[in-house]
Amino acid sequence: MGFIDKFFGYEKPSTDTPTLSTILPDEAVNEIKNGRLPHLNTDKVFLKKGEVCHYIDKSIMMKPKVKRAYEATGLGVRIWGVSIRKGFVLPQEGIEHERIKGIIYVTNRRTIFQATSNGFDKPHSALTSVTPYANAIEMQYGSTHYCLIVPNGSIVEYVYDIIREKLKGV
């Protein structure tokens, strides 16, 4: 992008989506693709009685933040020692995404995002919708929306689909 583009406000949107390497074992991925939930051991989260972890992987939460900036524009003229200025302020608003690194755990009862800030622990009964992408998953719990970048969004969707089928049978 050149100076003229920047001057006239033609900025390209940022497309630097992070990519993550998986920590989920290949055997677990194969089990999930075959419609079976693996039983994964973890010592990082406290599982409740009868709870089993089926998915663990690195993730990055994309938390939207409204960015407000103001641009002053004007013109000034000096005549006989007197300055005359005319100008105005243009408010500019945009959305930036704060990136929060963490680990996502999906158990048979809940989804846990472990991070230093903005972590969450939500039961599957509160899950409203799931939208998978090639490298992300969007989850909605009531009016709260979470977008997590993961190594493979379709694998997480498979886990939720299998859990949903098992919950229907209960």
Residues 96-150: tens digit of each pLDDT: 888 999 999 999 999 999 999 999 999 999 999 999 999 999 999 999 999 999 9
Looking at per-residue confidence, does 162 or 82 come out higher? 162
Structure-token pair, residue 159: 């886990």
What pLDDT, on the 0 to 100 scale, is given for residue 3?
Answer: 46
Give the Cα separation of 152 and 26 in Å (integer): 12
CB-CB contact of 100 with 114 (8 Å): no
What pLDDT, on the 0 to 100 scale, is given for residue 170?
Answer: 63
Question: 106-118: buried (b, 16+ CB within 10 Å) or exposed (e) per residue?
Answer: bbbebbbbbeeee
Correct CATH for 20-66+98-169 of 2.30.29.30, 1.10.10.10, 3.40.1350.10, 3.40.640.10: 2.30.29.30
Closest CA to 149 of 67, 65, 57: 57
- Tell me the per-residue pLDDT of 47-92, one tens digit each, with 9 for 90 and over: 999 999 999 999 999 988 877 776 767 677 777 777 777 776 667 7
Give the Cα separation of 34 and 71 in Å (integer): 56
